[in-house]
Amino acid sequence: MHTKASNSNSEKSRRPARDVIEAVLENMRNNLEPLKYSTLAPSRYVVYLHPNEYARLAGIAAVIQEQAVRALSEDLGMRNRPSLVKHYARRILGGRIPQIENPAGEWRIELFPDPDGDIQEGDIVVDSELLLPEGPQLGSGERTRRVTTVHSNPGTTSRRQVTIAESASVKPLARIEYDDNAGHHICDVKDSVTIGRGGIAYPVDIKITSSADVSREHARIRRDMQTGKFFLIDLSRLGTTLNGRHVPRGYDEAEGTKKENGAETLLPDRSKIGLAETVYLDFSLVRQ
């Protein structure tokens, strides 16, 4: 009976291969970047599946990749094709309607099994990358925007996280130093960073490898663009300290869903941040 129940649950969570392609398409459609003369689409998509699901689809991975590339190209072609509405809008308003472009010139689709045990059977995690060009529209220096979406049965998106990696040409505004099982680390902070153990469904900027007491998403440091001040937000299960004192939890939990509540703590120019009273990070402003 136990085996039958397990098989039944597995059958319910099993996804058809086309759902992988649809998840990639949805990620692309929801993460277009409009510019003045064009709109950019992410060019690289990394798909993570539960190991059982990956094993089932591994034999046709090349076909899934090929059809995902075809679907992305067809979708862009359809969106760029002048419709009757666009035709009259151009005649009335003048000018041209920005075309959607793939800045890399080609699509890259990759499939991997989840190595962290974060993904449930039937879930599809899509991690896309878009190279944002240098220019006044998006700030100085090239930046890579990564968007992670988690699609759970029956097809809803349960998590969407955005990470923007600045180029080396952008000067750091603060610095974090810490030690963990991987050694001593020095990390530059240019805008905001998320800190924790991380994982496929939990992308972080500063990955801690010391203790399971550190949450996958433990804390976030946010810079206020108007004042230039940095703030600490606790996202953890076991708490975050600032110079030895616990900071307020930055989220509320209801029915298993975490929702940030806006609670944050101002970071002094030099601070010691404790993660679950296990790992300690030294934060300091960089003098310009």
Of residues 233 and 180, which shows the higher confidence score?
233
Whether the pLDDT of residue 202 is over 90: the answer is: no
Give me the residues paired with residue 254 across strands.
257
One-letter amino acid at 204 equals V
Whether residue 83 sits in one domain with residue 26: yes
Domain count, the chain: 2
Output the six-digit token pair for 144: 């890579």
Q: Could you report the per-residue pLDDT of 232-252, keeping only the tens digit for each?
A: 999 999 999 999 999 999 999
Whether residue 113 sits in one domain with residue 251: no
Phi-psi region of 149 (alpha: psi -120 to 50; beta: other; left: phi over 0): beta
Q: 103-107, 137-141, 229-233 — which one is most confidently predicted on average?
A: 229-233
pTM of the entire structure?
A: 0.67
Residue 122 CA to residue 14 CA, distance in Å, equals: 5
Q: Which string of b and e fits 19-52 if b means at least 16 CB within 10 Å?
A: bbbbbbbbbbeebebeeeeebbbbbbbbbbbbee
First to last CA, the chain: 67
Output the six-digit token pair for 222: 């946010």
Whether residue 180 sits in one domain with residue 155: no
Percent of the chain exceeding pLDDT 90 equals 50
Of residues 264 and 14, which shows the higher confidence score?
264
Whether residue 231 sits in one domain with residue 156: no
Whether residue 75 sits in one domain with residue 117: yes
Give me the residues paired with residue 110 across strands.
46
Q: Supply the CATH number for residue 158's domain.
A: 3.30.2320
Strand order in the sheet with 124-132: 108-113, 44-49, 124-132, 143-152, 156-166
Out of 166, 183, 201, pick the residue that ends a domain: 166
Whether residue 7 sits in one domain with residue 147: yes
Q: Could you report the per-residue pLDDT of 39-64, keeping only the tens digit for each?
A: 999 999 999 999 999 999 999 999 99
pLDDT band, very low/low/confident/very high, at 135 (cuts 50, 70, 90): very low
What is the helix (H) or strand (E) element at residue 23, kind and residue range?
Answer: helix 17-30
Out of 166, 199, 222, pick the residue that ends a domain: 166
